[in-house]
């Protein structure tokens, strides 16, 4: 990922203004530590911080057309750039950069060329002939972009809020799938897929078509001139990404430079569900697996830095971003600059556990549409900014335009969770890759229950965050929250704690307005909370809040913990009762070499 900053219409275009633009662009250098560039045309500035992934030697930005009258600063990857170059044979290219096609496409097709791009991107383009400019963001919002307005009438764009928040009177999160045109004077949506209207599709389920579309999405994301790998949690989505990438890596251009053995990465608390499952998948696929550990305290110590980088106070996003942030630092230390990840599948296929309660296929489909439309505020934001904080790029094949269009056109009856028919969440995806002749994954991994990343790294991670927040926020502070934070008022001590950190970094009203709010259960939208009356009493974004669905739901775990404690207190040989004690939500009771132990947080106490 790169960092972009563009400013148009400044009243002051002195050397001091240029210095200020350089200073603000430097706030994005973590996104692009490889090179910096700045183009100034009268009172217009386009700055760039580069992370070199494709053509590291000559692809520095800003990029230009042949006579340098069209200037572009881009953050992203254009996967179909070679095909697009075939349409632009009358143009001469200076570099091998995938993003260099943008300027000539604008010259040939005008502002309507954006839908021709297959990739993830945010860009700003200046036409110096008339000083007009456009800005655009990819279909789903995989790459971040913000837009702001200065008191002097200037218009600003930046990859992250921190680059414009001090100098703009107002700023917003640039909506995904949109283009801003100075000529037309406003935003308009360029991405208009059939599913956007939320009408119910009726196309029959074709497992082979779904499989082929996803394999194609993964293969195109192997485009790289630098070392890369796959983020592997051991869950269905990341395991499928790893399986497909591993299967097709040898035939890719990347294998010629970096070898045909895929590197995979996982992080968790010791003993966490993800670490165990990821190791098993890595062994099955034969990847070069890298396993990282962190403690609850290390995660807590990183919270302020995490919130500064991801620019949100959303509870779920912070919970999941922290281990991803820590892992990205480890990955970068190994010399890896690009990773492929599994975000987006749960939104497309209704993989979150609360979808078990969807009353009918109509509401199921409409909820998936709502989830995809808001991805840029949650999982896309997390995946991009947590990795970009350390100069690592994350690619997400589930959010491929072609794949989304195919998957969202399937009759949602096939996505419904139907225990009576043996269909668990994301059954149509699991079934598509259930190949008896040439298995992609072991069966029990292919049909593993959904774990949200913040849960899968270790259940005591979330419990530790809550405990820490309880010590930082008093009952009195929380009771007055509506007076201190009238917008998106925090309702828990954990949410209050994150909000105080966020406000220190981003104190302006427009900043807090970029973060969504509203009730949620296990990552649902506010609308889906209505599916079960009991959920309104247990609002928590963790998957374990889906009572009666998750195998380690809070309520069930609390009961089991109480029963287990009673048994232990009255039993002289705990080993005898082990078969009757279910996994608990902390780090679970485990039987290791016939020695019965319990782990809570990072402390382990033996019992004999």
Annotated catalytic residues are 2
Task: Return the C-alpha torsion angle 265, 266, 270, 273, nearest 10.
Answer: -140
Q: Enter the DSSP assignment of 10.
A: -
Length of the chain: 608
Cα 130 from Cα 132, distance rounded (Å): 5
Q: What are the residue ranges of helices labelled H in 350-423?
A: 361-373, 379-388, 401-407
DSSP 477-493: HHHTHHHH--SS---SH
**3-class SS at 331?**
helix
For residue 258, CA distances in Å to 116, 428, 434 come to 30, 34, 30
Q: Which of 401, 344, 394, 399 is nearest to 80 (CA)?
A: 401
Cα 17 from Cα 169, distance rounded (Å): 17
Cα 243 from Cα 500, distance rounded (Å): 42
Helix axes 379-388, 303-310, angle to 10 degrees: 110
For residue 41, CA distances in Å to 36, 38, 219 come to 17, 10, 39
**3-class SS at 2?**
coil
Helix (H) or strand (E) holding 339: strand 338-340
Helix axes 493-505, 315-333, angle to 10 degrees: 60
For residue 272, CA distances in Å to 231, 449, 453, 455, 590 come to 16, 15, 11, 9, 12
Q: Enter the DSSP assignment of 203.
A: B
- The distance of Cα 126 from the centroid of its chain, to the nearest Å, equals 29
Cα 186 from Cα 545, distance rounded (Å): 41
Burial string for 282-320 (b: 16+ CB within 10 Å, else e) reads bebbebebbbebbbbeebbebbeebbbbbbbbbbbbbbb
Question: At a CB cut-off of 8 Å and minimum separation 6, what does 200 contact?
Answer: 361, 362, 365, 411, 412
Q: Contact, 130 vs 206, CB < 8 A?
A: no
Partners of 393 in the β-ladder? 338
Helix (H) or strand (E) holding 157: strand 155-158
Cα 50 from Cα 265, distance rounded (Å): 24
Q: Contact, 280 vs 287, CB < 8 A?
A: no
């Amino acid at each position: 990922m790169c960092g972009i900053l563009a400013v148009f219409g400044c009243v002051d275009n002195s050397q001091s203004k240029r210095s200020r633009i350089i200073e603000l662009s430097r706030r994005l250098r973590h996104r692009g530590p490889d090179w910096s560039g700045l183009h100034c045309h009268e009172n217009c500035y386009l700055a760039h911080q580069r992370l070199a992934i494709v053509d590291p030697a000559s692809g520095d930005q800003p990029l230009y057309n042949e006579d340098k009258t069209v200037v572009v600063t881009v953050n992203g990857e254009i996967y179909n750039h070679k095909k697009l170059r075939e349409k632009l044979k009358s143009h001469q290219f200076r570099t091998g950069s995938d993003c260099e096609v943008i300027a000539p496409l604008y010259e040939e097709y005008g502002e309507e060329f954006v839908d021709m791009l297959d990739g993830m991107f945010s860009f700003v383009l200046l036409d110096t002939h008339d000083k007009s400019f456009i800005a655009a963001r990819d279909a789903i919002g995989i790459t971040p972009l913000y837009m702001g307005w200065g008191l002097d009438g200037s218009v600003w764009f930046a990859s992250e809020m921190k680059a414009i928040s001090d100098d703009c009177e107002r700023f917003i999160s640039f909506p995904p799938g949109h283009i801003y045109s100075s000529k037309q004077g406003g935003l308009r949506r360029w991405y208009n897929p059939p599913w956007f209207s939320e009408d119910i599709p009726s196309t029959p389920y074709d497992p082979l078509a779904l499989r082929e579309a996803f394999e194609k999405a993964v293969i195109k994301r192997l485009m790289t001139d630098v070392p890369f790998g796959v983020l592997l949690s051991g869950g269905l989505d990341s395991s499928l990404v790893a399986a497909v990438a591993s299967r097709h890596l040898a035939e890719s251009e990347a294998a010629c430079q970096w070898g045909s053995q895929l590197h995979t990465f996982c992080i968790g608390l010791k003993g966490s569900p993800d670490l165990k499952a990821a190791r098993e998948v890595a062994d099955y696929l034969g990847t070069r697996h890298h396993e990282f550990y962190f403690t609850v305290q290390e995660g807590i110590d990183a919270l302020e830095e995490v919130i500064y980088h991801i620019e949100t106070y959303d509870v779920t996003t912070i919970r999941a971003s922290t281990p991803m942030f820590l892992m990205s630092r480890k990955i970068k230390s190994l010399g890896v600059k690009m990773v492929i990840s599994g975000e987006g599948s749960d939104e497309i296929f209704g993989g979150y556990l609360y979808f078990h309660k969807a009353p009918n296929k109509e509401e199921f489909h409409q909820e998936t549409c709502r989830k995809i439309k808001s991805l840029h505020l949650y999982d896309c934001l997390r995946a991009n900014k947590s990795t970009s904080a350390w100069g690592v790029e994350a690619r997400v094949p589930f959010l491929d335009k072609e794949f989304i269009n195919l998957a969202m056109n399937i009759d949602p009856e096939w996505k419904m969770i139907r225990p009576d028919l043996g269909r668990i969440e994301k059954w149509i995806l699991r079934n598509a890759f259930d190949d008896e002749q040439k298995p992609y994954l072991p069966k029990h991994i292919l049909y593993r229950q959904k774990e949200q990343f913040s849960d899968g790294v270790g259940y005591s991670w979330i419990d530790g965050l809550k405990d820490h927040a309880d010590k930082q926020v008093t009952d009195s502070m929380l009771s007055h929250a509506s007076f201190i934070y009238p917008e998106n008022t925090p309702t828990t001590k954990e949410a209050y704690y994150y909000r105080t950190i966020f406000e220190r970094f981003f104190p302006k009203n427009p900043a807090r307005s970029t973060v969504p709010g509203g009730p949620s259960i296990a990552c649902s939208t506010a609308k889906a909370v209505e599916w079960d009356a009991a959920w309104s009493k247990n609002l928590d974004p963790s998957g374990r809040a889906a009572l009666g669905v998750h195998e380690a739901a809070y309520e069930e775990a609390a009961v089991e913990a109480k029963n287990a404690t009673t048994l232990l207190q009255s039993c002289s040989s705990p080993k005898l009762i082990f078969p009757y004690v279910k996994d608990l939500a902390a780090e679970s009771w485990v039987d290791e070499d016939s020695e019965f132990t319990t782990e809570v947080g990072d402390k382990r106490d033996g019992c004999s």
